[in-house]
Structure formats: C-alpha cells, structure tokens
A and B are shown apart, each in its own frame.
Chain A
Amino acid sequence: MKHVFFAVVLGLFFSVNLIQAQSFSNVQLKTLERQTVQSGDVIQNDEGPVLLCFWATWCKPCIKELNAYNELYPDWEEETGVKIILISTDNARSMHRVAPFVNGKGWEFDVYIDANSDLKRAMNVVNIPHTFLLNSEGEVVWQHTSYMEGDEAEVYEQIQAITVNNE
C-alpha cells in the first residue's frame, strides 16, 4: 500500500508540472471596510492581467517589494493594464493595521484581508511574500516567492510577456 501511495505522490509531482494554468477555490475575503466578498468575484481584471501579492504588515521583504511595485505601478498600469491586488494575511492582531498602513504608505493597490489564511492555503502559499501573475482568464501563468531587490524587473517582463501574447 505504501508503495502505491508514494508512486501516486511521485506521479503527481511530475504530472502537475505539465499543467501551466492554475486557478483557485473560491474563498471568503474581507475588504478594508470588512465587507465579506468571494475571492472569485474580486480577483479579476477585465483590462488585463492581475498581479496577486500575498503579504502582511509585519513582513519586511513584503513591504520592500510593495514599495517597489508602487513606484512603478502607474507606468505598468498604463502600458499593460495590469491590476495589482494585495492579499493581507494579517490575523486578528494586525488586520486592523492594514488600512492605515496601506494608506500611510501611499500605496494605490486593491487590498483584501485573508485573516485566517484561507486564500493563502487555497493557493498553496508557504511563505510570504508570494506573488502570482494571473492572465485575463484568471489562470496562474507565473509565480514567485520571496523578494530580492530588483525582482520587479522580472515581474514586469512576465507581465509584458502575457500582454504581448494576448494582443
């Protein structure tokens, strides 16, 4: 039985690699005004791709990453129509800080709160920051974990790649 199990697991490891696109389960998120919404209803962009960023107010590299995106966002938006959506994994301790934090930083992104990590789990995120690039069909076409200075260049290349493909 054990052998079968491991065979299946191994099989899965390889077979899933063939699958490029990944969407996700519909889970409940909260807006900054505490409105409960379905992830499927809000994580979408008719104009183009979505850059979905998992972060938290207590996560140092996340803040560095989002500060970097924020500077480039007006240009990216104009050139590719990309929409950046933040998913805060702050729990009950720090979720109240999210709105003042985001505003205090002057970030211009859409932000949703995933206070019990439901979406984080549904998208199999292990560590934050973790960024997904979704195409206009909502399929995951690229993902990246952690943030290092300069990663935004690669992110932009990936966004451009799918927007060029679409046109």
Chain B
Amino acid sequence: MNIQKYISGLKIIGHISVVFMLLGVLFNACDEIDEPYIEEDTVVWHGRKILIMEFTAHRCPNCPEGHEEIENLQSAFPDAIVPVAVHCGIDAMPVTSDTTEPYHYDFTSDISIELGGDGGITSNGYFNISSKPTAAINEFAPGNLFNVQAWRSEVAKYIQTYPEFSIDIDPDYSEQDSLMSADVSVEAVLDSKRNLHLCVYVVESNIIEWQKTLEEPDGVEDYEHNHVLRASMNGVYGDVVSADNAAITVGDEFTNSYSMAVDDQWDLQNLHVVAFVYDSDSYEILQSEEIPLFDQ
C-alpha cells in the first residue's frame, strides 16, 4: 500500500523534471552577449584626451593643411582633441619689426624654439623638426612625427583606450599683479607603476594675422591662428609628479599650484591652460586637459 503511494510520489518528481526541462529550453532563449559589446563601426570614447603637438609656421604655405586637419579631428571627436601649435623654424620668424607690414607678428616663443628649433641655425629643437607641417601625437618624444595624412589613424589608436588619469585644472587671474595661476590635480583612474611628469602650458587662440597658404602664395591677411603655444608654467618638460616607479593606486591625487606673469601682448580672453601627464620612460602622454582662463 505504501509502495503505491511511493510510486505516485515518483510520478510527481517526473512531472517536475519535465517542468525543469521546459525551464532549460526557456533559459536557452536568453541573450548572453559575448565581447565585443560595442556595435560594429562605432567609436566609444572613454574620456582619454589626445594631445596633438603640431609644428607649424606662418610663412609655411603647407601648414594650413595641418590646421584644417586639426579642425576635422576636433569635429569628429568632440572634446577628445587637445591641440598645441608650436611655431618654429626659420619660416616662423617675423620678417620685419614694422607692425604695418605682413609677417611682423612673432608667434614663436622660448618654448616653441626649444621644442621645434629655429630651422637648424642653432638647432632643430627637442623634436628635431626638419619639415612642416608635422605633429607628435600623444607622445612627448622626438622621433615619432607624423605627417598630416597619418594623424587620424594615429588618433584612432588612442581614442578608445581608457585614460589612466583624470586632470582637473582650476585657473585664475589676478589683475592686480597680472599673474595667472592654475591649480592642477591629477587623479589616478587606474592602478599603475610609473615615473610621471606633468606639463602645464599656456596657449592662445583667435589671433588674426597673416598666413601663407598654397592658394595665396603671398598669404591671407585675416587668417585665424589657434592654439598657439605661448609659455609653460612649469618648464618645457614639466615637473615630476611621481618617481621611482612608485605604485599609483586608483584614487591617488597629485595637486600642484602654478602661477606666472602674463605677457601684455596676449589677449587674456583667448588664453587657455593645457595640462598633460606623460610617462618619462616611454614618453607616452597618458592624459591631457584644456580649459580657458576665463569661462566662456
């Protein structure tokens, strides 16, 4: 009698296993997604800003090609490009001191000559520049210079990678003593072990002056010059943020304050502060940031 009941119990377990088999079928109907999780042909930017150090000059007719490509890249990757225009070489020098004449304006500076040279009169600069336009992309080292056609693919190498650091710039200006200052903090987003340098540069945009172009061999009078490198707040090669390959862990923050006197030639409304961190062994620029001196 008990056995009869036992069998009916087994039957129920049978029913249940059918039910669970059904469940298994249902479960197969689920969408387990394998990598890549991103749709084909889409670019996802994770916040790593790419520094393009462009070597240029106002009497270089090929150079506007580089300026255009910078603009193209900025519209293709909004917010992701930090350009710095380093005016250097013989064709960057002013030709006259008469301010009514073309090409009197001096786009060069101590730092631009240090980085790009004076066309070989004394040196070809830290970056050993022999032709223009050319650019160093996310790398603060001589040797790896790219001509305009290669910029986009070089940018593409970095655009989808994650930044190791985030940079926050808090600029200020004191009218009293014509001093501009910037509090720059670098925060680790990833763990690493690196020797780290931080550079803080000042660039100026919207300078309307002469520029030679291919179409107009004599030049265009009202050409807009942007991102012109003016000075560094902490030396051409920046200063050490982390040394001795010390372990850097997520959340670590390095904060420095800088200040410098402002040149009376500069238009304060057009000044921007650019900061970037690079690995002083591999020279890779790990993150960059740009912010206007005044909110616009």
Direct contact of A and B (CB under 8 A): no
